[in-house]
Structure 1
Amino acid sequence: MKITVAVGDDHPVVRAGLVQMLTASELIDVVAEADDGTQLLDAIRALRPQVALSDFRMPGLDGAALALAAQQEQLPTRVLVLSAYTEPAIVFRCLENGAAGFLSKDVDRTTLIDAIHSVASGTDVLPPEFIGDVLDQIRQRRTATPAAITLSPREREILAAAAEGRSAPDIARSMHLSTSTVKTYLRRLYEKLGVASRGAAIAEAMRQDLLR
């Protein structure tokens, strides 16, 4: 079955190129195009694609605001931000708001399509070159208040595995648990950390020194 994708970019030539690139893949079905964030959110609400490929800077809603809106409305679509702007603060904001991944527009076709497949399967995507900068952003946001959250050994184990980018089925296999059990643990972790997505959970866990 093809992965359904909605594409948002306010530059017509860039958007057309992305759509053509994705359509050329036999495993991706582009179900909507939008030239601003509000239109893209409307398309997500109406069509519920598996992935929304969104430019960061767009009229209406930018990529980070779109990711937050999708989280708040509990829409099933996972947002993958693709941007020419890769400042650490922008990457961090997108992840903090619940984006499932962030890529530079410099990526090649294979990397982009692989990222869409990963996001659709539940795995977050962040290229290695961004990780150090995101960690710096997390450190800058740390406060002197000690972490008040207590995690069980199993919760720490699952959180660490999630931070490595492993999917719920993969974590389940390695820990001899059912996938539904792992997903339950992840939901409880989100509740404890006060977040709504894996990326935000990892960022908050790092901020509170819960990942060691």
Structure 2
Amino acid sequence: MAIRILIADDHHVVRRGLVFFLKTQKGLDIVGEAKDGKEAIEKAAELLPDLILMDLDMPVMNGIEATKAIKEKYEDMKILILTSFSDQDHVIPAMEAGASGYQLKDIEPDKLVHSIEAIMRGEKQLHPKATTLLVENLTKSKTERMPMDELTKRELEVLKEILNGKSNKEIAASLYITEKTVKTHITNILSKLDLADRTQAALFAVRSGMFE
């Protein structure tokens, strides 16, 4: 089944260019266009697209506000930010609003299609600049409000093994515990540090310098 896409951008030429290109791609169906954030919300409710290509700097309502409003009502609707801005004042609020991806408008057309398809598979798609800003922000906020002494000795041992790139099975063998116990420890680590996955946990460990 084709991916149904809504394009939200206040520049007519940009919208037309995206429509023209994406219509040539197999498996993509452009169901509508919006010229500002308010219209994006209205079209999202009317058309129920699978994914919205969302600009940020738009009149009436910007893309961040629109993204937040849409995600609050349609949790499963994917939003890929496509913008010219790569600073923390745009990247971080956009991702916090619920966007599944963040790409710049100078992206190669084929890479844009890849990003759309990847997001529909449940993956995050971030421009390298956006990734850097998010990691820096994540590290700063977690370091400020989540002291490492919340982790038990065993959880610290598991975190160190994660940092070393070991699988659950390898961690279990190394620490002489079961894989089920490893999973429990990882769940506790992510919960205590307010992280989403083991990759974020490893990044946090590196940035905090806890095992230096």
TM-score, with normalisation over the residues of structure 2? Answer: 0.68
Shift of 1:8: 0.5
Counterparts of 2:141 and 2:61, CA distance in 1:
24
Q: Which has the larger radius of gyration?
A: 2
| Worse overlay, 126-135 or 24-33 | 126-135
CA distance in 1, matches of 2:83, 2:34: 15
**Alignment partner of 1:86: what SS?**
coil
Q: Does the aligned pair in 1 maintain the 2:81–2:99 contact within 8 Å? A: yes
- Give TM-score scaled by structure 1 length: 0.68
- Look up the match of 1:87: 87
Q: Secondary structure at the match of 1:82?
A: strand
- The DSSP-based 3-state class of the residue aligned with 2:126 is coil
Could you list the runs of 5+ residues in structure 2 that have no partner in the other structure?
Answer: 163-186, 208-212
Structure 1: give runs of 5+ residues left out of the alignment.
Answer: 161-187
Tell me the equivalent position of 2:126. 126
Task: Report 1:60-75 matches (<5 A).
Answer: 60-75=60-75
Q: Normalized per residue, which structure has more helix?
A: 2
In structure 2, distance between residues paired with 1:71 and 1:210: 31
Aligned amino acid, residue 136 of structure 1: E
Alpha-carbon shift at residue 129 of structure 1 (Å): 3.7
Aligned to 1:173: none
State the alpha-carbon separation in 2 of the partners of residues 61 and 142 from structure 1: 31
Is residue 39 from structure 1 mapped to residue 39 from structure 2 by the alignment?
yes
Report whether the alignment pairs 1:53 with 2:53: yes
CA distance change for structure 1 residues 140 and 146 in 2, over 3 Å: closer, same or farther? closer
Aligned to 2:17: 17
Question: Matched residues in 2 for 1:56 and 1:117: separation?
Answer: 21
Contact 1:8 1:55 in 2 (8 A): yes
Q: Which moved more, 1:97-106 or 1:54-63?
A: 54-63
Percent of residue pairs identical: 26
CA contact (8 A) 2:86 2:129 kept: no
Aligned pair count? 173
User: Which residue is equivalent to 1:165?
Assistant: none
In the alignment, the residues of structure 2 paired with residue 47 and residue 210 of structure 1 have an alpha-carbon distance, to the nearest angstrom, of 43
Query: Matched residues in 2 for 1:48 and 1:82: separation?
Result: 19
Is the contact made by 1:67 and 1:79 (CA closer than 8 Å) also made in structure 2?
yes
User: Offset at 1:115?
Assistant: 0.6
- Per-residue CA deviation, residues 75-113 of structure 1 (Å, 9 max, x unaligned), is 431110000111123111111111000000000110111
Q: Let me know the Cα RMSD of the aligned residues.
A: 3.5
Match of 1:185 in 2: none
